[in-house]
Structure 1
Amino acid sequence: MKNLVKIGFLSLLGLSLLSSSNQLKAAESSVDLSKAKQMCANATPQQRQMAKAAGYDLDSLCAQLNANGNTLTEDSTAEKVTQLPERRSRADDKNSMLTEERTNPLAFFTPEQIAAMTPDQLAKVLEQLEEEPVVEEEELKPFGYELFAGEPESYQPNLNAPIPANYVIGPGDIFEIQLFGKSSQNLSLQVDRNGQVAFPDLGPITVAGLNFDEARQLLKSRVKQQIIGMEASITLGELRSIQVFVLGEAYRPGAYTISSVSTMTNALFVSGGISDIGSLRNIQLKRQGKLVTTLDLYDLLLRGDTSNDARLLPGDVIYVPPVGDTVAVDGAVKRPAIYELRNESTIKEVIQIAGGLAPTAFKNEAQIKRIDDSGFMTSLQVNQPQKSSVKVKAGDHLRVQQRVEVARGVVKLTGHVLRPKQMAWQPNMRVSDLVYSLDALKALPQLKSALLIRETLPLRTLEIEVVQLDRALQMKGSAFDKILNPQDELLVLGFTEERSEQLQPLIERLEKQASAGNSAQVVSVSGLVRFPGVYPLAKEMNVHQLIELAGGLAESAYSLNSEVTRISLKDPEHTQVEHHFIDLMAGNHQFKLQSRDVLNVRQRPEYREFATIEVKGEVKFPGIYRIKKGETLRDLMKRVGGFTDFAHVEATLFTRAELKEREEKQLQQLRQKLKSDIANSQLEQSNVGKSANLNSLEQLSENLDTTEALGRLVIDMKSVLSGKSEDVILKDGDSLIVPAFRQEVSVVGEVQYPTSHLFDPYLTFEEYIERSGGETDKADDERIYIVKADGSVVLPYRSGWVNAIGTDIEPGDTIVVPLDVNATNDLALWSQVSQIIYQLALGAAAITRL
């Protein structure tokens, strides 16, 4: 159904392209344009994307439909999205091919072709869209720029490192000098702006322009020559700062003050790094207008080489030119990225800077997408890319394909096995070579019906055969031990629920193979088999094999009369349904099955599982009893041995599962109704005097929420056993509870002190109420009722059993004084709720007392 909607949607798009009225009339015969508005309103984002891929603006089309009703005219044709050949300007977009383009199946068809497609053709396009979703790939990024993603402070030079011997001394540097010998002295001497240090007893000494090693030797020799008996240990203390310029395509170009031991990379980090359009491979160091050296950061990133990372002098200029020629390397390489070219000119060299091929790469072939001299996109195939001397051009996109994860020349063992495996196929290899023993299988394997899944060339469609695995292992080399072909898969099923998951991929693939004139090779089995469902149609499969594949017949199966329903498509005008009756005990269980056959195994007539009833309380043999169909309560009482001497027969409680379910539904409806009435009453309250009624109702609602359904069936046990009342036919899930004799009479409801009283045959119900303190102000004395011990309800003033002495109250009875609904805003539902709560509570109490 989902595909039909999409087909109609695409057809609607195609119709929008027809420019003449004759074309439109012809098209309206195949698509109902009256549904166009509804389809526009319900268009999903995926459908809008398909419309755009076809070259049309769906919003414009739908706007025209809404304006013109159900008729499309030449003016209502959807606005066409500009669709030009894939052309790139080398001047404006020389390196634009940075990410691989996604392929949309609709993009290969013109709008006119879509309009002319049959529903089957459109369905195939939709199937490709749904079955092969495009995997979102991360966009390729230029290589190396993440080096500058950190904070600049993290890349300051290490000032605690030893001073290099070639460090050039300049104004601001401080010498730390320790004199020792006949006396000792520590000196800190700063180089002044004249490049000299004022050494005590030695006078000014010029050191600027010397490297550190030369300056140290000069000072040590002067001390030794001019101060007799003294020697010096000399190092540099605080270093001076220098100013350099970072210009060009730096992230933040400008002048920066840095340490005098800083290098080119230190300065780049301080300036924030290199912008997205700056070069990493041709960073220039200029001094007094002359090029001193160039820095290739790829040496640092790829090889850890810092030999060209020159130390800076005051006034140096670091110039970052725009990025040079680039190529994108994608796919199965170790480091996919966009790389800047310098000395690399061949495919082999480009793959080397990308880290080489990944282990999963298809090494025999790669693809280059390139903008040719005319500005059009072209594609080149490269053999053996890791060795290729093919020249690369600026803007090339090199993609190395992944190795196809399809094993060839193997056979597989899957399903209900301890260790799924695949083995190299050998000539004359058999099933017993793949499954060497039953020890390779999990517990409860289905030995009579393993599935041999075989691919047939050239389309690699599946063909299924049934293998009797037990016989194949018992009679190795026989016809049961089938010879395997390359790519065969043996699927072993088990008598477990996981079999449906194991079969599902196989069923889906068989369904996808279906086409006009070639139905899906699947069959179904329903009814009384162990595992009903859809199964693959094996070669020459019969009813008996399908039943074995489904786990065999269930215990209650009727083997004398099963049915195969078959759909015949021989008549192109009509679909015929045939029914074939199969006697599984006779020879026709070898009935050959066809595609889409449905086997229904019926249940044995009048078969049913054992029903049970639970008997509790004062009977001689309580317990759980199995009952047969039609068994009655009298029959049951004979089996349980009758009542004990302490049984309160009149108070027998009989419950039924289906009544409990019905009561629970009624309780739920009552809860919702009561809460709704309470909410309405809260809105109607206009004064504080009525708030007490709401409090009572809310308490009643809480009591109802905690009340559980009982499912009681009121019976007169003595009348049933004596034959005066109709016997009760027992059902599965029934429960019989016989409580011990009770001597009390309970008074509940709107009385001052609800409690139980010792039974007195001479007291009336009014006197029992008086013994509970009398009625409250909210009591309804005209609607008092009595719940008898057997669960029946009697109204004392209407029942006719009131004698001259008083009301006939018996042990176990409960007198209920209900709420006066007139005193609570005439909400009659409240009285109904309170009555239900009392009755269910009494029944539950009888169960609890056991």
Structure 2
Amino acid sequence: MAKAAGYDLDSLCAQLNTTSLSGGSSENKDKLTQLPQRRSDSSSELDPELPPAQPANPLSLFTPEQIAAMTPEQLAKVLEKLEQDQVEEETEELKAFGYELFAGEPTSFEPNLNIPVPASYVIGPGDTFEIQLFGKTSQQLNLSVDRNGQLSLGELGPISVAGLTFEEARQLLKSRFKQQMIGVEASITLGELRSIQVFVLGEAYRPGSYTVSSMSTITNALFVSGGINHIGSLRKIQLKRQGKVVTQLDLYDLLLRGDTRDDERLLPGDVIYIPPVGTTVAVDGAVTRPAIYELLNETSVKQVVAMAGGLKPTAYRLEAQITRIDDNGFTTSLAVSDPAQSTVKVKTGDQLSVQERVDVKRGVVKLRGHVYRPKSVAWQRGMRVSDLVPSLDVLKSLPQLSSAILVRERLPLRTLSIETVNLAKVLQNKGSQSDKVLEPQDELIVLGFTEEREENLADLIEALEKQAYAGQSAKIASVSGLVRFPGIYPLGENMTARELIELAGGLAESAYGLNAEVTRISMQDPEQTEVEHHFIDLTKTDSRFVLQSRDVLNVRQRPEYREFATVEVKGEVKFPGIYRIKKGETLKDLMTRVGGFTDFAHIEASLFTRSELKEREEKQLRQLREKLKADIANSQLEQSNVGKNTNLSSLEQLSENLDSTEALGRLVIDMKSVLSGKSEDVILKDGDSLVVPAFRQEVSVVGEVQYPTSHLYDPYLNFEEYIERSGGETDKADDERIYIVKADGSVVLPYKSGWVNAIGVEIEPGDTIVVPLDVNATNDLALWTQVSQIIYQLALGAAAITRL
């Protein structure tokens, strides 16, 4: 399909090879083929010619039309190539050693001209002499060597110094002054030095002719030219003078040993020639400097390892591996014993890999878990558990002594097996059968009665799950229900239900200790899986019901068990306080226990609250608050749209009152009827509260009256007369919906009570008369109906609070 659409798939795949999925230009790739390098994250910054990073999705290299034209096989081929390139890109490659010395653009790296000129410096045209004459004559001379190599000394005549060393020229000049100027001494130094022209050729970063200081050496010239490119040799840099090789510089001497003896000073016309790189060997792994090294006189593995800085302390010193391409072009591997001392010969293109030592301790026994100092100690024949735990001082507080876990490797497959150890018996009788003999690689895990138990067992549970295989479940079991620490535990060989319960910290206080239930998945039939339930008698010490992998042991709660429930009694009773109650106990029973009421008790005003009712009221109050605020906002918006100016201040005030109202969870009861048996008794629950207030002589009037207050009880007054004593109703009052909250919390609506004379409703001490807001006169919106319900709830809450 792709070819039919005019696309050359082979060309597209070839495009991948030259795209920076694997980084760099094609030119750089040719170089990397000859001398592989590890890519640096900053390479794109150092080399502006590198292409920008490619998008994360490799298919973005193709157009949608190209992708659509591919067959599934062709697309798979492209994706395979892309994945291969991505893996190669992510693989960290080795750098060639030493080339980072010249990384970046060329630099002058001029020699230090402030140091004394060495006596061996060769004088040439352009050099300047500074001559200080003193004695019979005092004079300062600054003389330059002319193109003929001479210094003009005035009356003393010219003198040839070119080609002489500085020391030779200095002695010659002193001799001339001494002979021809009697009584005059001369101090001779070199001033400004000449520049010389040298050539840097071969595999230089920028080969060519360069002007440098006459004090420059080979390395100075290399820096000026940008250094050596990645196919140039660092070890056979030649200094040629008049067609002959004067010296050969090995930069490894400078880099590895700081030896500059062969870094010769340059003369005019010198040629620095950099030949191509020679034999290279890659060294990777646990060596000090993993890199690709150029060989000169090194021929053996130990010399290459020494060049790489030697082995790391973490290296596996007994063996290394050489990867080599044989004469037939196939890759082969060669094992090398003791690479630091091996005389095995290396060849160009070899890759020497030194492995890290395995971070696994052998021949040791370990202690961890609920201990102060986890440790690994060398195993010795005859070592026992008591050698790891000699006393309780080793353990943290609250250790579980009855069941520690001993993890042991079973040969030849090195699978893990589990045993339990009773540390209490071990410490009481060291050397006994309970004090198990340890084997190499044993691990003792001490558990504690703390929350870190799951963390201490996590690695072991994971290891047991990993060693499971098809047809063989992991050696773990679960404990649920009323044990101290439910969870997943390692399953020991022939472990019973009682042992697993002990491992889980034992039974909880509320556990049913007679039997437990084991749920088991049976896979005996290869065609199906069955679930079995077994009840285990926990009272029989000889019970040998052996648990199997993945069993779930469930310990049930004791029948009719409940923790102590409490109720609180306050106020005018003989013995107020907090009382524990049993299941089914009633309010009448409780009043007997508290000794009855005092002489000052207002029995009718008793306040009985319940926790679950309070939670329910809190939820209702939250919903009412949200509804009220939303309706107020909607009403304000409607008034703005239609130009009305209805006063919402009353409703907003009610909203604020509702926000400050707390739920009580009151259960209205007729205490006298309950105690006399005329009303059904109240079954008590945990968290119930009874408040018996002192007798009250007042009647309260609240709501839309001129002066809400409380009045001294008068048996001859009705509710309207109490309202008149509070100044009468306001203009906003709804006189048809007046109601009375009795002292016991019940509500009476006088005009709906069915009595012939509503005004004759009996008002009693502790009652509250509520005059509600006339919401219909304020606004005909449905909002106000909701507000009236809120007012009703608030009035009930206010009346209840007043009774406290």
Maintained 8 Å contact 2:723/2:729 = no
Structure 2 residue 585 is the aligned partner of structure 1 residue 610: no
TM-score by length of structure 2 reads 0.76
**Superposed CA offset, 1:241-293 (max 9, x none):** 55555555444555555544333333444454444444333334445555443
**How far apart, in 2, do the equivalents of 1:468 and 1:414 lie?**
16
Structure 2 residue 341 is the aligned partner of structure 1 residue 387: yes
Q: Does the C-alpha gap of structure 1 residues 384 and 716 become closer, same or farther in structure 2, counting only changes over 3 Å?
A: same
Structure 2 residue 35 is the aligned partner of structure 1 residue 81: no
Matched with 1:804 is 759
Pick the aligned partner of 2:787 from 811, 831, 835.
831
**How far apart, in 2, do the equivalents of 1:409 and 1:719 lie?**
82
Maintained 8 Å contact 2:711/2:722 = no
TM-score by length of structure 1 reads 0.72
Q: Where does structure 2 lack aligned partners over 5 or more consecutive residues?
A: 1-57
**How far apart, in 2, do the equivalents of 1:767 and 1:634 lie?**
37
Q: CA deviation at 1:464?
A: 1.8
**How far apart, in 1, do the equivalents of 2:687 and 2:583 lie?**
13
**How far apart, in 1, do the equivalents of 2:625 and 2:205 lie?**
70
Q: Does the C-alpha gap of structure 1 residues 745 and 705 become closer, same or farther in structure 2, counting only changes over 3 Å?
A: closer
Matched with 1:52 is none
Alignment of 1:212-611 (within 5 A): 212-242=166-196, 244-251=198-205, 257-287=211-241, 290-587=244-541, 589-611=543-565
Maintained 8 Å contact 1:429/1:484 = yes
Maintained 8 Å contact 1:693/1:824 = no
Q: Does the C-alpha gap of structure 1 residues 58 and 276 become closer, same or farther in structure 2, counting only changes over 3 Å?
A: closer
Maintained 8 Å contact 2:281/2:350 = yes
Alignment of 1:694-773 (within 5 A): 711-715=665-669, 720=674, 725-736=679-690, 745=700, 757-759=709-711, 764=720
Q: CA deviation at 1:163?
A: 2.9
**How far apart, in 2, do the equivalents of 1:388 and 1:636 lie?**
94
**Superposed CA offset, 1:727-755 (max 9, x none):** 4333223344566769685757xx799x9
SS at match of 1:659: helix
Matched with 1:111 is none
CA RMSD, aligned part only?
4.9
Aligned-residue identity in percent: 68
Say which is worse superposed, 173-182 or 469-478, in terms of deviation. Answer: 173-182
Say which is worse superposed, 738-747 or 450-459, in terms of deviation. Answer: 738-747
Q: Does the C-alpha gap of structure 1 residues 240 and 571 become closer, same or farther in structure 2, counting only changes over 3 Å?
A: same
Say which is worse superposed, 781-790 or 208-217, in terms of deviation. Answer: 781-790
**Superposed CA offset, 1:704-726 (max 9, x none):** 78876554445555655565554
Q: Does the C-alpha gap of structure 1 residues 805 and 525 become closer, same or farther in structure 2, counting only changes over 3 Å?
A: closer
**How far apart, in 1, do the equivalents of 2:541 and 2:348 lie?**
77
**How far apart, in 2, do the equivalents of 1:207 and 1:818 lie?**
125
**How far apart, in 2, do the equivalents of 1:673 and 1:241 lie?**
94
SS at match of 1:361: coil
**How far apart, in 2, do the equivalents of 1:198 and 1:808 lie?**
139
Matched with 2:45 is none
Q: Does the C-alpha gap of structure 1 residues 843 and 362 become closer, same or farther in structure 2, counting only changes over 3 Å?
A: farther
**How far apart, in 1, do the equivalents of 2:642 and 2:145 lie?**
95
SS at match of 1:330: strand
The letter of the residue matching 1:434 is L
SS at match of 1:629: coil
**How far apart, in 2, do the equivalents of 1:685 and 1:245 lie?**
95
The letter of the residue matching 1:373 is D
Say which is worse superposed, 628-637 or 600-609, in terms of deviation. Answer: 628-637
Q: Does the C-alpha gap of structure 1 residues 496 and 376 become closer, same or farther in structure 2, counting only changes over 3 Å?
A: same
The letter of the residue matching 1:393 is K
Structure 2 residue 118 is the aligned partner of structure 1 residue 164: yes
The letter of the residue matching 1:831 is V
Q: CA deviation at 1:459?
A: 0.8
Alignment of 1:645-656 (within 5 A): 654-656=608-610
Q: Does the C-alpha gap of structure 1 residues 516 and 639 become closer, same or farther in structure 2, counting only changes over 3 Å?
A: same
Q: CA deviation at 1:207?
A: 4.3
- Of the two, which has the highest radius of gyration? 2
Maintained 8 Å contact 2:384/2:436 = yes
Say which is worse superposed, 405-414 or 704-713, in terms of deviation. Answer: 704-713
**How far apart, in 2, do the equivalents of 1:441 and 1:771 lie?**
79
Q: CA deviation at 1:618?
A: 6.4
Q: Does the C-alpha gap of structure 1 residues 182 and 766 become closer, same or farther in structure 2, counting only changes over 3 Å?
A: farther
**How far apart, in 2, do the equivalents of 1:214 and 1:843 lie?**
121
**How far apart, in 2, do the equivalents of 1:554 and 1:800 lie?**
59
SS at match of 1:81: helix
**How far apart, in 2, do the equivalents of 1:321 and 1:648 lie?**
114
Q: Does the C-alpha gap of structure 1 residues 641 and 818 become closer, same or farther in structure 2, counting only changes over 3 Å?
A: farther
The letter of the residue matching 2:423 is L
Matched with 1:146 is 100
**Superposed CA offset, 1:383-415 (max 9, x none):** 222232333233322211222233333322232
Q: CA deviation at 1:644?
A: 6.9
The letter of the residue matching 2:759 is A
The letter of the residue matching 2:354 is V
The letter of the residue matching 1:804 is I
Q: CA deviation at 1:580?
A: 2.7
Q: CA deviation at 1:151?
A: 8.6
Q: CA deviation at 1:515?
A: 2.7
SS at match of 1:546: helix
Say which is worse superposed, 491-500 or 159-168, in terms of deviation. Answer: 159-168
Q: Does the C-alpha gap of structure 1 residues 787 and 282 become closer, same or farther in structure 2, counting only changes over 3 Å?
A: farther
**How far apart, in 1, do the equivalents of 2:642 and 2:455 lie?**
65
**How far apart, in 2, do the equivalents of 1:769 and 1:318 lie?**
121
Q: Does the C-alpha gap of structure 1 residues 680 and 328 become closer, same or farther in structure 2, counting only changes over 3 Å?
A: farther
Q: Does the C-alpha gap of structure 1 residues 493 and 210 become closer, same or farther in structure 2, counting only changes over 3 Å?
A: same
Maintained 8 Å contact 2:738/2:769 = no
Q: CA deviation at 1:541?
A: 1.8
Q: CA deviation at 1:304?
A: 1.6
**Superposed CA offset, 1:663-719 (max 9, x none):** 455556566667777888899887495799999999998987887655444555565
Q: Does the C-alpha gap of structure 1 residues 562 and 200 become closer, same or farther in structure 2, counting only changes over 3 Å?
A: same
**Superposed CA offset, 1:151-191 (max 9, x none):** 97795533433333333344554444444445655555555
Q: CA deviation at 1:544?
A: 2.2
**Superposed CA offset, 1:99-122 (max 9, x none):** 9989xxxxxxxxxxxxxxxxxxxx
**How far apart, in 2, do the equivalents of 1:837 and 1:325 lie?**
96
**Superposed CA offset, 1:291-336 (max 9, x none):** 4433322222211222222333455454444443332211222222
SS at match of 1:831: helix
Q: Does the C-alpha gap of structure 1 residues 665 and 395 become closer, same or farther in structure 2, counting only changes over 3 Å?
A: farther
SS at match of 1:605: coil
